[in-house]
Structure 1
Amino acid sequence: MPDADRRITSLDAVPTDTTHLFTVRDADGEEREAILVRTDDGVRGWLNYCRHLLNVRLDKGSGAPMRDGEVVCANHGAYFEADTGHCTFGPCEGATLEAVAVTVTDGDVYLTDDDYAFVANGPLEDERGPSASETYEF
């Protein structure tokens, strides 16, 4: 069984029509946002940044739009395949989202990427505002 401190969430908590947002920390101590996306064969993890402009988040706190198995950047209209991260349409066509390795074990999703440590579910701490448990509407 994977290490309990690398558990992100239950598989049931990962929506089928949008994304699940969480925060990771890299080896340099920098915290970054990542998303979980349902695919036909499981769940994939991606850093939460559009490849067109890296300061634009795909999931702004209430789930990224999804259409026909693709994550949509609401800012640029770019489409990314949920299972490969490949951009099929938009200003960054041909680019690929940065992967974050995850696995599903016994109904839970775990971070298995050695480049990152799990921090928390939800956006970066400085993006959370007064309460990390609030629902954000954009």
Structure 2
Amino acid sequence: MTTGTTIASLADVPESGSLLFTVADGHAEDREAILVRCDEEPGVRAWINTCPHEYQRLDRGRGAAMRDGEIICPKHGSMFDACSGECDNGEAAGTTLPSVSVAVEDGEVLLADDDYTFRHEGGIDDDGPSSTSHIGF
């Protein structure tokens, strides 16, 4: 049995696209991560939500673009294998997405990575209300 914090229900991870969540790294810095479906066990993988070629969020809050089991960088179109995180094309060729270890138990996706602490579902800026006022002082 794996111990870890529940990130989401496996049923909540879209078949195509991603589920965005926030973790804290070993320096207590918040980092965005994504859960994506994968054909290999345990059926999902988690990656830090940044293209390793050039800082670019893969999931901008509406799910990462995916095609044929690959995550597409919205800036240059490089494609990363959803299971291995490896890229063999475009500007990011030869790079690999930084991984976040997860496990699946009883239909729940658990954080199984000692280097990260689960903060919340959603992106870094999704943890509270923000002002919508257009009035400046």
TM (normalized to structure 2)?
Answer: 0.88
C-alpha separation in 2, matches of 1:37 and 1:88: 19
Give the aligned partner of residue 136 of structure 1: none
Measure the CA separation in 1 of the matches of 2:128 and 2:57: 17
Q: SS where residue 92 of structure 2 aligns? A: coil
Q: Specify every segment of 5 or more residues in structure 2 that has no aligned partner in the other structure, as ranges.
A: 131-137
Mapped to 2, the partners of 1:34 and 1:66 lie a distance apart of: 16
| Alignment-derived partner of residue 118 in structure 1 | 118
Aligned residues: 128
Does residue 91 in structure 1 map to residue 84 in structure 2? no
Instruction: Find the counterpart in structure 2 of residue 49 from structure 1.
Output: 50
Q: 1:18: which partner in 2?
A: 17
CA separation of 1:88/1:128 partners in 2, compared to 1, >3 Å: closer, same or farther?
farther
Q: For 1:90 and 1:110, locate their aligned partners in 2 and report how far apart those are by CA, in whole Å.
A: 32
Equivalent in the alignment of 1:32: 31
Larger Rg: 2
Partner of 2:77: 77
**C-alpha deviations, 1:45-77, integer Å up to 9, x for none?**
1000001112x1000000000000000011110
- After TM superposition, what 4+ stretches of structure 1 lie above 2 angstroms from structure 2? 1-4, 127-131
| 1:91 aligned counterpart, secondary structure | helix
8 Å CA contact 2:47, 2:85 repeated in 1: yes
Deviation of residue 2 (structure 1)?
4.4
State how far apart, in whole Å, the 2-side matches of 1:113 and 1:129 are. Answer: 25
Residue 36 of structure 2 aligns with an amino acid whose one-letter code is V
Cα distance in structure 2, aligned partners of 1:48 and 1:2? 24
